[in-house]
Chains A and B, each alone.
Chain A
Amino acid sequence: MTYSPHTEADRAHMLEAVGVASVDDLFADIPPAVRAGAWSVPPPLVEQEVRAELARLAGRNRIPEVSFLGAGVYRHLIPSVVGEVIGRPEFATSYTPYQPEVSQGTLQSIYEFQSLICELTGMEVATASHYDGATATAEAALMACRLTRRSRVAVSAGVNPDHRRVLETYCSGPGIEVVTVSIDLAEGGDGTTDPAAVEALGEIACLIAAQPNFYGQLEPMRELADAAHASGAHFVAAVEPTSLAVLEAPGAYGADIVAAEGQPLGIPVSFGGPYVGLMAARMASVRQMPGRLVGATRDVHGRKGYVLTLQAREQHIRREKAASNICTNQALMALAATAYLTAVGPIGLREVAELSAAQARHLAGALESVGLAERRFGGSYLNEVTLRLPDAARRHAALAERGIVAGHVLERGEPELRDTLLLAATELTTDTDIARLVVALEETA
Chain B
Amino acid sequence: MSVAEAPSSDASGRGAAFSGAAGGDELTVVEPLIFDRSRAERRAVRFPSVSAAARQAGAGQPELPASVLRAHAPRLPEVSELDVLRHFNRLAHLNMAIDLNFYPLGSCTMKYNPKVNEWAARLPGLAESHPLDPEALSQGSLELMWLLAELLKEISGFAAISLQPAAGAHGELTGMLMTRAFHRAHGEGEQRTKVLVPDSAHGTNPATATMAGYQTVTIRSNERGGIDLEALRAALGPDVAALMITNPSTLGIFEDQIGEVLGAVKEAGAIAYMDGANLNAILGRFRPGEAGFDAMHFNLHKTFSTPHGGGGPGAGPVGVSERLEPFLPRPMPVLVEGDPDEVRANAWAGYSTPGVRFALDDDRPQSIGKVRSLYGNFGMFVRAYTYIRSNGDAGLRTISEDAVLAANYLRVRLHDVFDLPYDRLSKHEVVFSGRRQKREHGVTTLDIAKAILDHGIHPPTIYFPLIVEEALMVEPTETESLETLDHFVGVMREIAELAASDPDAIKRAPTTTPVGRLDEAAAARRPDLRYRFPDETDAPDAPPAGPTSEAPTV
Contact = CB atoms under 8 A, between A and B. Distances in A.
B418 to A, nearest CB: 16
B530 A269 contact: no
A96 B202 CA distance: 15
B310 A91 contact: yes
B57 A365 contact: yes
A443 interface: no
Contact of A325 (B54, B211, B528): B211
A111 interface: yes
Interface string B15-47: 001100000110110110111000001111111
9 contacts: A43-B392, A62-B137, A162-B370, A261-B373, A315-B207, A328-B168, A328-B308, A328-B311, A362-B58
B67 A292 contact: no
Contacts of B399: 2, 4
A60 B77 contact: no
Interface string B279-306: 0001011110011100000000100010
Contacts of A56: 140, 350-352
Contacts of B57: 361-362, 365-366, 369, 434
B401 interface: yes
A319 B105 CA distance: 21
Contacts of A222: 67
A36 interface: yes
A88 B171 CA distance: 28
B178 to A, nearest CB: 11
B69 interface: yes
A246 B67 CA distance: 11
A346 B166 contact: no
Interface stretch (B265-273, B495-503, B518-526): B518-526
Contact of B516 (A61, A274, A303): A303
Contacts of B324: none
A120 to B, nearest CB: 5
Contacts of B125: 55, 57-61, 63
A44 B123 contact: no
A355 interface: yes
Contact of B393 (A31, A34, A39, A111): A39
A87 B113 CA distance: 12
Nearest to B403: A4
Nearest to A276: B313
A79 B473 CA distance: 41
A115 to B, nearest CB: 4
Nearest to A48: B116
Contacts of B308: 93-96, 328
A84 B287 contact: no
Given A3-B112, A101-B510, A273-B166, A44 B395 contact: yes
Nearest to B105: A95
B187 interface: no
Contacts of B259: 31, 33-34
Contacts of B173: 173, 325
A38 to B, nearest CB: 10
Interface in B404-440: 404-406, 408-409, 411-413, 424-425
A366 to B, nearest CB: 5
Given A27-B285, A331-B312, A4 B409 contact: no
A126 B530 contact: yes
B543 A287 contact: yes
Nearest to A400: B134
Interface centre among B46, B62, B172 (most CB of A within 10 A): B62
A287 B78 CA distance: 33
Given A120-B76, A312-B551, 12 more contacts: A67-B133, A69-B133, A135-B371, A166-B371, A174-B213, A299-B519, A315-B206, A325-B207, A326-B170, A342-B84, A343-B84, A431-B54
Contacts of A431: 51, 53-54
B108 interface: yes
Interface string B510-536: 100111111110111001111100000
Nearest to B195: A320
Given A26-B408, A343-B81, A298 B519 contact: yes
Contacts of A13: 482
Interface residues of B, number: 234
B310 A96 contact: yes
Contacts of B523: 295-297, 307, 309
Interface stretch (A17-25, A179-187, A202-210): A17-25
A104 B95 contact: yes
Contacts of B96: 90, 94, 99, 102-103
B133 A36 contact: no
Q: Which are the 8 A-B pairs with shortest beta-carbon distances? A: A361-B58, A58-B125, A332-B309, A44-B392, A272-B374, A60-B140, A89-B99, A274-B313
Nearest to B30: A104
B234 interface: no
Interface stretch (A227-235, A247-255, A413-421): A247-255
B467 interface: no
B238 interface: no
Contacts of A434: 57
B290 A312 contact: no
Contacts of A361: 54, 57-58, 61
A307 to B, nearest CB: 5
A244 B61 CA distance: 21
Contact of A2 (B59, B87, B168, B398): B398
A358 B53 CA distance: 10
Nearest to A268: B127
Given A320-B209, A343-B81, A351-B47, A50 B116 contact: yes
A11 interface: yes
A371 interface: no
Interface in A49-86: 49-64, 67, 69, 71-73, 75, 77, 79, 81, 84-86
